[in-house]
Amino acid sequence: MCRLFALTSRDPVSPMLAIDALNVMKEGHDGSGVGLYLSGLGGPFEDLKEYPVLSGIFTDAGLRRLSEYMTEKGFSSKYSVMFKPDTEPPVGTPKRGTYASIAYELPPEWKDLDKDDLGERLVKTRLELRAEGEQTGDIMVFSFWPDTIMIKEVGDPMAIGEYLQLGREEIHARHILAQGRQNTNYAINLYACHPFFIEGIGTMTNGENTAFIPIKEYLQSRGVTGYQGYQSDSEVFTHIAHFTTKKLGLDISAYKHVITPMNDDEMKDHQDREFLSSLKKACRKLIIDGPNCVIGCLENGTMFMAQDRKKLRPGVVGGNPELGMYAFSSEICGLNAAIPDRDKSQDFQPMHLDTAIVGPDCREVVKCSQKDPLLLQR
């Protein structure tokens, strides 16, 4: 079973904090891979929040092609963090080349675009690069979005952390999603490694998604650029979160109403019953059956955790408001390792109706039950 660990903090912290937590939970995962989503970047990226950051892995030829491609499109590189390991990779990890995170200045004609158009173009650019790379194997792109870095690699998380020197200050971040292990049902593919990302939304999941095919087919038919790939059965969770918040304009507290709607009895006395019941019907294709624990981060740094209806995967949220740091973990030992100094009695394990949300201010865990009145929808 995959181990998940997410950290949200007022001040930028080292991603190694999350990797350490994964390592503590190692008992259950086979260490075949690690994925990192970083946002709310500190260090040199702190002042570059407006500029989209392209993160991926490139061979030398790939870097050249990237540079040509981006120049042709009118992008100019603003700042880049290139890391080319000079040590031998850990056992099982291929030698790939340069792990790059490059902030770009937008082409002049893009600057007047509205937010949605710009987002779509960024996604398109990422997908074009990805498609290019899939032909040659020179380029792998995981994200292209402001204030976001994604790193993925095959191997033991701790060994990868040391190999890629993930403790470097330049990639310190306020919001970190980290997952240990690759997916299992399909061929090992870096694109299948959690977390997944689209337009400012990153999520990761453990367990397995039994409803993968119908959900995938449904999302693909929505005509949204970026709903593609699907190397992992869990990638749909990210897209559902994207669909819920960006396409339907609902608050993240409604995410759980989409993936695991209440049954008729539970809904009976709900003050928003009419809306929820129609949402349940319209989004029936997006109902998951789990078992899954989904942890995700939104563009504004809001982090959340939700479970499948039967709660067959564990998850716990806890933290210290004074430190301004909260963690979402699939096991309590991971939480203990990352934030030992906290009021453990306040730890929250979301049950089958709950969504745990920690805002970007990292002050408290908001516990949303599906039985609560809906928050004002955006």
- Return the number of the residue (198 or 267) whose C-beta is nearest another protein: 267
Choices 77-85, 194-202, 206-214, 323-331 (CB under 8 A): range interacting with another protein: 206-214
- Return the number of the residue (21 or 259) whose C-beta is nearest another protein: 259
Residues in 125-164 at the binding interface with another protein, rule: CB under 8 A? none
Write out the two tokens for 4: 């998940």
End-to-end CA distance of the chain: 35
Q: Which residues contact 161 (CB under 8 A, 6 or more apart)?
A: 15, 16, 19, 34, 167
Choices 66-74, 117-125, 289-297, 366-374 (CB under 8 A): range interacting with another protein: 289-297
- Return the number of the residue (84 or 371) whose C-beta is nearest another protein: 371
CB of 320 to another protein, least distance (A): 33
Q: Is 260 in the site for another protein (CB under 8 A)?
A: yes
CB of 2 to another protein, least distance (A): 9
Torsion, Cα 322 328 330 332, to 10 degrees, reads 10
Q: Is 40 in the site for another protein (CB under 8 A)?
A: no
CA gap 14, 378 in Å, rounded: 33
Applying CB under 8 A, among 80, 275, 349, 375 the residue interacting with another protein is 275
Bridge-partner residues for 61, per DSSP? none
Pick from 334, 295, 318: nearest CA to 206: 295
Residues in 311-350 at the binding interface with another protein, rule: CB under 8 A? 312
DSSP reduced 3-state for 92? coil
Applying CB under 8 A, among 32, 67, 184, 320 the residue interacting with another protein is 184
CB of 107 to another protein, least distance (A): 31
CA gap 236, 242 in Å, rounded: 10
CA max distance for the chain: 62
- Return the number of the residue (29 or 65) whose C-beta is nearest another protein: 29
CB of 88 to another protein, least distance (A): 32
- Return the number of the residue (132 or 289) whose C-beta is nearest another protein: 289
CB of 267 to another protein, least distance (A): 12
Query: Residue with structure tokens 């809001």?
Result: 302
CA gap 229, 197 in Å, rounded: 12
- Return the number of the residue (110 or 212) whose C-beta is nearest another protein: 212
Pick from 31, 33, 40: nearest CA to 9: 40
CA gap 201, 246 in Å, rounded: 10
Footprint of another protein (CB under 8 A): 1, 184-185, 207-208, 210-214, 217-218, 220-223, 243, 247-250, 260-261, 263, 274-275, 278-279, 281-285, 287, 289-291, 309-310, 312
